[in-house]
Amino acid sequence: MYNKFDLHKKTRRSFLGQSVRGIGSLALASLLNPNDSVANIQPTTWKGITNPTHFRPAAKRVIHLCMAGGPSHLETLDYKPELVKMDGQPMPESFTKGKPIAQLQNNKSLKCLGPQHPFAYYGKSGQLMSTAFPQIGSIADDICIINSLKTEQINHDPAHTFFNTGTGISGRPSMGSWLLYGLGSESSNLPGYVVLTSSGGGQDQPIAVRQWHSGFLPGQFQGVQFHSSGDPIHYVSNPPGVNMKHQRDVVSAVSQLNMIHNETVDDPEISTRISQYELAFRMQTSVPELMDVSEEPQHILDLYGAIPGDGSFASNCLLARRLAERGVRFVQLYHRGWDHHGNVKGGIEVASKLVDRASAALITDLKQRGMLDDTLVIWGGEFGRTPMAQGTGRDHHIQGFSMWMAGGGIKGGVTYGATDELGYNAVENIVHVHDFHATMLHLLGVDHEKLTYRFQGRDFRLTDVHGQIVHPIIT
């Protein structure tokens, strides 16, 4: 009988792979045994499959401020004077006939609902924006407003899935995972992809963890959710009676066992598991330091309107800046408060007070630290809202909606694209979600047609077979 670790028991793949990975094994061994003679080798991080990048990047990292629930473009960024005139009148059938609508689909008396908040011009550029967002208005010259987005999924969860992954099919990698796979992380002590959530202002739609999953990419590329109050990550603190040395011994022992098993099966997920254990150990010191904002001066806390540890969007924006400083590649902040099927006027008032100041503060803070030029900031939801009334609110809408972007190679002080006179269809310089993804990757130095991963016999990419770079909004 052969020993289970005999060569005859090894797979051909594992034998061939191990023959060329001696140096890698040595490096891992040094990581697991810090007192050995080769222990001075520092832990390595994934450097990305596109290293070097396909062309010179404008941005190094992304902060995605996701207004989950579908903020109304008609009360935020897209002013329609004709809709003011049509308030309370029947919606012309020519706009809606044959078009998908969520809850209003079979309503026989669709009526227009005029903008519930006035608009004003902001900045030297004269950006036209809702007065419900005066602080974002104060950074008008730094942002590019896109008023011509289109998506393909009309309900919340699949719409988030589509915006994150480029498809309505669950199980595909999120855009943060694609970025981490393509570019790697600049931090060895924190995840390369971090997610934070907050709520308030409307119905809190649940956000499934699959929205930041790595799909068929290796597990090391999935997002890690941080809790913005209490322990940021479950079990990041040692239990009573366990010190860092004891924890180091446990992690090393488990990793060594995994290495032995991997010599037999050569499973890439085992390598992923080893790296995740090691990262988790290093996070026990890096995460508490990250969350401790006592070093932040009071004027910075006041800028954001942040009360540390309160779990608010404001505190999360401050944490996003701190994560960006520490080399995290993709930071995603979900604020779950924008589902306004009723009382869209009041809902916008509440939600805007929770996000307006902090969103602007993030841009201001990044700019004064010299980080805005290489940080791409994205603000918007999974879709927009209908020009037609749903009582005192608005229904889901996919034919035209708005977002804004700033930093990272984006032109500031410009508005791009337009919807029709009632804000129903994107009609000028249409930007599909696939185009947004292609443009985002381009700003990070990645050709969206070349960032691929072979799975089940097919080369997949974030933009699938679609996507056009929106060059007019790029500096």
Structure confidence at residue 324 (pLDDT): 97
Nearest to 141 by CA among 381, 436, 360, 376: 360
**CB contact at 8 A, 456 and 463:** no
Domain spans in the chain, listed from the N-terminal domain onward: 57-101+122-229+309-473
Alpha-carbon distance of 393 to 346, in angstroms, equals 10
> Which tokens in the block code for residue 305?
């309107």
Other beta carbons within 10 angstroms of residue 300's beta carbon come to 16
Residue 416: strand pairing partners = 146
Exposure string over 41-61, b if 16+ CB within 10 A, otherwise e: eebebbebebeeebeebbbbb
**CB contact at 8 A, 326 and 319:** no
> Which tokens in the block code for residue 169?
């099919």
Nearest to 140 by CA among 126, 130, 150: 126
Indicate the burial class of 462 (C-beta count within 10 angstroms; 0-12, 13-18, 19 or more): buried
**CB contact at 8 A, 370 and 104:** no
Alpha-carbon distance of 47 to 34, in angstroms, equals 22
Structure confidence at residue 23 (pLDDT): 36
pTM, rounded to two decimals: 0.84
Structure confidence at residue 201 (pLDDT): 86
* 415 secondary structure, DSSP code: E
Per DSSP (E only), the strands in 92-186 are 119-122, 127-130, 143-150
Task: Look up tokens 């630290």; give the residue.
Answer: 369
**CB contact at 8 A, 416 and 439:** no
**CB contact at 8 A, 187 and 45:** yes
Quick: pLDDT tens for 390-433.
999 999 999 999 999 999 999 999 999 999 999 999 999 999 99
Residues of the chain by 3-state class (helix, strand, coil), percent to 5:
40, 20, 45
Q: Is 253 helix (H, G, I), strand (E, B) or coil?
A: helix
Nearest to 93 by CA among 80, 81, 79, 109: 109
- Sign (positive or negative) of CA dihedral 398, 401, 404, 409: positive
**CB contact at 8 A, 332 and 195:** yes
For the chain, the average pLDDT equals 86
Structure confidence at residue 108 (pLDDT): 82
Alpha-carbon distance of 473 to 59, in angstroms, equals 14
> Which tokens in the block code for residue 298?
């009071």
Quick: pLDDT tens for 74-98.
999 999 999 999 999 999 999 998 8
Distance of CA 152 to the CA centre of its chain: 19
The domain made up of 57-101+122-229+309-473 is a member of CATH 3.40.720: yes
| Residue ranges, the chain, pLDDT below 70 | 1-45, 228-286
